[in-house]
Structure 1
Amino acid sequence: MLQFISKRLLAMLLTMFAVSFVAFAIIQLPPGDFLTSYMASLAATGEQVDPKVIENLRAQYGLGEPYLVQYWKWISGVVVGNFGQSFEWKRPVWELIWGRIGNSLLLEGLAVVAMWLVALPIGIYAAVRKYSLGDYLATIGGFIGLAIPNFFFALILMYLSFIWFGKTMGGLFSPGFEDAHWSLPRIWDFLSHAWAPILVLATGGTAELIRILRANLLDELQKPYVTTARAKGLPEWKVILKYPVRLALNPLVSTIGWLLPALVSGSVIVSVVMNLPTAGPMLLRSLTTQDMYLAGAIILLLSILTVVGTMISDVLLALIDPRIRYGGK
């Protein structure tokens, strides 16, 4: 196992290097650069810009240099923790994304926990009590959860909150706790605001996990080893939880690799709709203005989530399923 983890860590480093190269190239694919967008925005307001000022800024930020030179300057700084400076905000990128990345990870992490806590018992019940009323309700709820877009569900919640309680739903903190240090009152304030976006983000994923677990568990319950375990007199709960559920979890565990980045990317519109201080709206803004250092840093961090999530899923698969052997005979 240690040898496998070491190989995966090495592969992670190579993958992140390749992803950073591609991400930086994608950011520069649109014609022009940040200064082009900046000049267009000034021209739209009727302001005039001195071309010499633009040329000085282009030389200052190195925007006229070849792609490989710009990439090397960026990635060499990233290695030592320097993600560059945002063109639009004129501040270090790490200062801008530190709090927003933390909010995103906290929000999406809680959404993942909520998904698993809800999907596991419902999926197991739906498979064990096949074609029962509970199974039908879980199926209908799963289809509805998959069919409704997250941002539309967020709009419904916000509308109902305003109609029923006369309050607008949005943000993650009250005005007095936005810049405060973490404490019990701030944690409670966060939870009182975060339940709505967590519910919105977890709905679609929970419905999908329920359907996957139910289908896999139904297949496992028909296999001979389950009949043998029952014939030996084992309690029904032990027969189900110890053997078929453990094997039915394999496809769910393998989805961890794409689940985290999918939640982050899927939360962009939800964050805009619900006015959440996460990385999604900032990523959207940086791509619009071609703020390449800011956009590149956020995309790189999302890619790291994918790679780390894939490694976690591989290790968990090896732990829960003894049939999986990495590098063994």
Structure 2
Amino acid sequence: MLRFVFRRLIAMVLTLWAVSFVAFAIIQLPPGDYLTTYLASLSASGDLVDPAVIEALRRQYGFGEPYLIQYWKWFSGIVTRGDFGQSFEWKAPVTDLIWGRLGNSILVEGLAVIVMWFIALPIGIYVAVKKYSLGDYLATIAGFIGLAIPNFLLALLLMYLSFVWFGTTIGGLFSSEFETARWSLPRLWDFLAHAWAPILVLATAGTAELIRILRANLLDELKKPYVTTARAKGLPEWKVILKYPVRVALNPLVSTIGWLLPALVSSSVIVSVVLKLPTAGPLLLRSLTSQDMYLAGAIIMLLGVLTVIGTLISDLLLAWIDPRIRYGSK
């Protein structure tokens, strides 16, 4: 197992380097650069810019340099100093802009993942064991509705119902007096009072998907001979189901941990805009539209970090819950 972890750590380093290179290249694929976008916005507002000023800004930002030189300056700064560069639009260090928002994203999306599993596991097991029962049909209908409704539409519906029924608006993650305060029990309670809406919205579609996957896998396992043998030996029904079939049926679900959190971060962009959440999603969207390459590249690279870390965690969990998996064996 240690050899496997060591190999994966080396692969993670190479993967992150490849992700940073590709992300930096993709960001620069659209015609022009940040300065082009900035000048277009000035022209649209009727402002005129001196060509000498344009050339000075181009030299200052290094837009005239080849791609490999721009990439090497950015990547070497990350490796040697932990410096992700300067945001052109915000005129501030990228690290100052993303850490707080990325922390909010990980907190909200991480809680959404926990809610997904907490709801999906018991319901998925129940609908598989009680196949074609009323509960199975109700869970199926609810699952299809959850998959069909876009997250942003559900967010708008919650905002409307909250205003009509309770006379309050939901949005943001903190009240104004707690936005810059240190973490404490009052701030935690204020966060939970605001975060339930985005957590519920983000968890809806994922929960429905996990229930369907677990139901299908568990139904397949319950038909296998070892389950019949366990029942014939007189084991309690709950032990027959939970000890072996559920553990095997969890394998596809555990393997999704690697991409689940980054997928939630990327899919929460519109939800974050609707609910005015101070997360990384709106910041990534803004940086891509304005071609703020250092800011966008940093966020995309950190999403890659979450992906490779999540993949490693899912592989270790698979080896733990399924004794048939033997890493490093010939």
* Same fold, TM-score > 0.5, yes or no: yes
Alignment partner of 1:17 is 2:30:
no
Q: How does 1:1-329 map to 2 (within 5 A)?
A: 1-79=1-79, 80-329=81-330
Which aligned segments of 4 or more residues in structure 1 are displaced greater than 4 angstroms? none
| Deviations 1:111-140, CA, capped at 9 Å, x for gaps | 000000000000000011111111111111
Secondary structure class of the residue paired with 2:49: coil
Aligned equivalents of 2:64 and 2:318: distance in 1?
48
CA shift for structure 1 position 308: 1.1
TM-score by length of 1: 0.99
Aligned equivalents of 2:215 and 2:10: distance in 1?
36
Q: Which amino acid aligns with 1:151?
A: F
Identity rate of aligned residues, in percent? 80
Q: Which amino acid aligns with 1:228?
A: T
CA shift for structure 1 position 56: 1.1
Aligned equivalents of 1:89 and 1:215: distance in 2?
48
TM-score by length of 2: 0.99
Aligned equivalents of 1:319 and 1:165: distance in 2?
47
Q: Which amino acid aligns with 1:259?
A: L
CA shift for structure 1 position 62: 0.9
| Deviations 1:261-281, CA, capped at 9 Å, x for gaps | 110010001000110000000
CA shift for structure 1 position 54: 1.5
CA shift for structure 1 position 304: 1.1
Listed as ranges, the gaps of 5+ residues in structure 1 are: none
Deviates more, 1:40-49 or 1:107-116: 40-49
Aligned residues: 329
CA shift for structure 1 position 53: 1.3
CA shift for structure 1 position 326: 1.3
CA shift for structure 1 position 305: 1.1
Aligned equivalents of 1:14 and 1:302: distance in 2?
15
Aligned equivalents of 2:158 and 2:83: distance in 1?
40
| Deviations 1:230-281, CA, capped at 9 Å, x for gaps | 1111111111100100000000001111111110010001000110000000
Q: Which amino acid aligns with 1:163?
A: V
Q: Which amino acid aligns with 2:274?
A: V
CA shift for structure 1 position 199: 0.2
Q: Which amino acid aligns with 2:55?
A: E
| Deviations 1:164-187, CA, capped at 9 Å, x for gaps | 111111100001111111110000
| Deviations 1:183-237, CA, capped at 9 Å, x for gaps | 1000000000000000000000000000000010011111111111111111111
Q: Which amino acid aligns with 1:127?
A: A
